[in-house]
Amino acid sequence: MSRRNFQITPELMLRAYRAGMFPMAESRHGERLYWLDPEQRGVLPLGSFHLSRRLLRTTLSKTFEITSDRDFPAVIANCAACVAGREDTWINTDIETLFLTLHRSGHAHSIETWQDGKLVGGLYGVSVGGVFFGESMFSRVSDASKVALAHLVARMRLGGYRLLDTQFVTTHLSQFGAVEVPRDYYKSILAEAVDVRAEWLASPDPARLEGELRNLAGR
């Protein structure tokens, strides 16, 4: 179920996230924004995130450089871009502007994946209390978004987060352990997690970060 709203502000967005709703545009070039409150909500449990040994090796190798909040505008622009196989997106210019404002105020963050100095993957979302509301991700080379997701989860665990909201469950996310939960249950765990004091770790200690990544793979 969705509800139309013409006056979405960054402050209203934060209140909506705390209540379990999030905005989307009807299309990349559409002018309408809607509040969504799905009956089934996607979550990725931090305690059972599955990182394969193959992907762990890639994550720990020097294949990619991983950063956080280095270029949030470029990440959301890439997530919004229409590319072959994805001819439309739900991120219009109003959504971009709202999230850029949230980023400047410290409420929205990105993980970037770089290769040879070029941005090749990443993700972004909103941080409220102990919850990270994942919004979108992109990948221009194999494994780029998967490595970004692994780094996100490792940082969240180190920073004391409780809940990773994925909004919906895709085949891409299900391989990592994402599941759907009923709306009422989601809002009950959300209510507890948003009041937790968590810390976004843009530059965590490398040794602790590697240790957490190994933990995700059971090694």
Q: Give tens-digit pLDDT for 27-66.
A: 666 677 888 899 999 999 999 999 999 999 999 998 999 9
CA–CA distance from 140 to each of 77, 79, 92 (Å)? 13, 11, 20
Q: What is the DSSP letter of 204?
A: -
Break the chain into its structural domains and give their ranges.
40-216
* Angle ∠(107,113,118) on CA atoms, nearest 5: 115
The domain over range 40-216 is classified in CATH as 3.30.70.360: no
User: pLDDT tens across 207-217, in order?
Assistant: 999 999 999 99
Distance, CA of 58 to CA of 146 (rounded, Å): 10
User: pLDDT tens across 141-164, in order?
Assistant: 999 999 999 999 999 999 999 999
Mean pLDDT of 74-97: 77
Q: Which residues pair with residue 123 across a beta bridge?
A: 111, 137
